[in-house]
Amino acid sequence: MSETTRTPWWKGATVYQIYPRSFADSNGDGIGDLNGVRRHLDHLQQLGVDALWLSPIFRSPMADAGYDISDYCDIDPLFGSLTDIDRLITEAHARDIRVLLDFVPNHTSDEHPWFVESRSSRDNPKRDWYIWRDQPNNWRAALGAGSAWTWDEHTQQYYLHLFLAKQPDLNWRNPEVVEAMHDVLRFWLDRGVDGFRIDVIHCTGKDPSFADDPRCQAGQPLSDFNDQPYSHEVLRGLRKLVDSYPGDRMLVGEVNIRSTERVLQYYGAGDELHLAFNFNPLDAPWDPVLFRTCIREVEHWLQPAGAWPTWVLSNHDNVRQRSRYQGSERAARAAAVLLLTLRGTPFIYQGEELGLEDAVITAETRTDPGGRDGCRAPIPWHAEPPHGWDGAKPWLPFPPDADQLAAERQTGAANSMFALYQRLLAARKASPALHHGDYEELPSHPEVLAYRRQHGDDRRLVCINFADAAQAFPQSGEWAVEIASDGCDEGEPYSGTLNPGQAVVLRPMEN
């Protein structure tokens, strides 16, 4: 049996994150939807990704952009219908693109029928589906929501919410909750979904003693560091269920704790998450010391444990990488080379392949309580306004240079950002070293990050120059430039010098 048939698909895959309300609008209401996604599947196929992950599309009052769910087994009319998602899954699969959904197990909307029942009386059968207390402790909620406890006048108790008051936390210690949420996963797995990105999975287990925490006293939200043994029990149950389905279904988790050592625990003994997001690069500026340290830490903890890493530089909650890199297209191009050549599964956030920056958000255009609108701006498909968003004005303003960076301008253009991503993804698919090989850091100048990827006889060298000046980086042996972030000298012998800010993928010269 060959290595690729034995290895699960998600190890060699590249996943593309779609934030549906900003991806593409099919009905002219100014908000992206599932049919908009379906109509642009060719874009993803052309790019060369293997899977797409959809941020929440379930029925929701949208207090937190769909992360407050009122029905886990229905599509919000804003995005379409169950028929639309079925069609999207079918058409994605026809293009060999797998589909992951966003699963939000920690909390529901306060408008979910379960919570409506739970708060109706203290002796309601669903009372214990949520977490009620006579006295609050000092736990803090995220998104600037203050105390994690809200008083319910009707039943004269407080309920817990680690996020907005409109997002009450489920009680995962109640077996009925576990079974109901397992049924949600079955509902979607039966419809052909290939896996789930699990939202704040580290929050599902709570300290049973409800002790005050000094970090909350200092104003930090509990969701930043909550790390309880019971979360692992929750995860093992989810994993067992997903593993009972054929076809390598997978779970990738948001464990939003900034410690690689702690995040590793959520892989379990191969019986919890298949993949966990590695968030440290999401905060980092374009700096060789930070990236070198981060990669070393991931290799140090995950490699000996047999846990497969993930790499992500942008998502729907964080400032886009190019904006973090002071708007530098050169740095964003080099970062693409880094992202797609490290050992692990890379996640591309929609629009990174176009080199987008965050939109400028004003007090008038702001919609998100957490201030994350900039990275959620609509994707410009056409160069001419309204950039493929015909009808009502889009729900957020477009990112800067939407005309220049529009998808139609970049597709087919020789050295566009889109073309660079295409070349990288094609090279990654064709090279066992790049998608499954070992990683070895090479000695280099402080401003250069260099590493070898090797699988059997297949070898690649990756060299990234963070400096504004050219750097000599000679290598023994004969190497050719397979890909260069600036497009220079591709296919030519490697000269031993890196251009300012350039990243290259080198392959051995054929005799």
CB 336 within 8 A of CB 300: no
- From residue 32, alpha-carbon distances to 49, 83, 91, 225, 431 in Å are 20, 17, 18, 33, 35
The closest of 72, 40, 46, 39 to 57, measured between CA atoms, is: 72
- From residue 402, alpha-carbon distances to 19, 178, 496 in Å are 18, 45, 37
Three-state DSSP at 203 gives helix
By DSSP bridging, strand 51-54 and strand 15-18 are parallel
Catalytic, out of 102, 110, 254, 486: 254
Q: Which residues pair with 312 in a beta bridge?
A: 347
φ and ψ at residue 90, rounded to 5 degrees: -60, -45
φ and ψ at residue 88, rounded to 5 degrees: -65, -45
28 Rama class: left (phi>0) / alpha (psi -120 to 50) / beta: left
Residue 469, both tokens: 């000046």
The reply to whether 199 belongs to the active site is yes
**Element (H or E) spanning 441, and its range?**
strand 438-441
Catalytic, out of 64, 84, 102, 199: 199
Cα separation, 99 vs 93, in Å, equals 8
- How many H-runs (helices) and E-runs (strands) does the chain carry? 19, 20
Three-state DSSP at 10 gives helix
C-alpha 48, offset from chain centre: 17
Question: Which DSSP category does 274 fall into?
Answer: S
- Give 125-145 as a 3 state SS string: CCHHHECEECCCCCCECCCCC
364: Cβ–Cβ under 8 A, 6 or more apart, which residues? none
| Other CB atoms within 10 Å distance of the CB of residue 427 | 20
Residue 139, both tokens: 């736990």
CB 358 within 8 A of CB 511: no
Cα separation, 239 vs 355, in Å, equals 36
Q: In 97-227, which ranges are continuous DSSP H helix?
A: 113-118, 175-190, 214-217
Matching residue, tokens 């993949």: 275
Cα separation, 291 vs 289, in Å, equals 6
Cα separation, 313 vs 279, in Å, equals 8
C-alpha 84, offset from chain centre: 23
**Catalytic (active-site) positions:** 199, 254
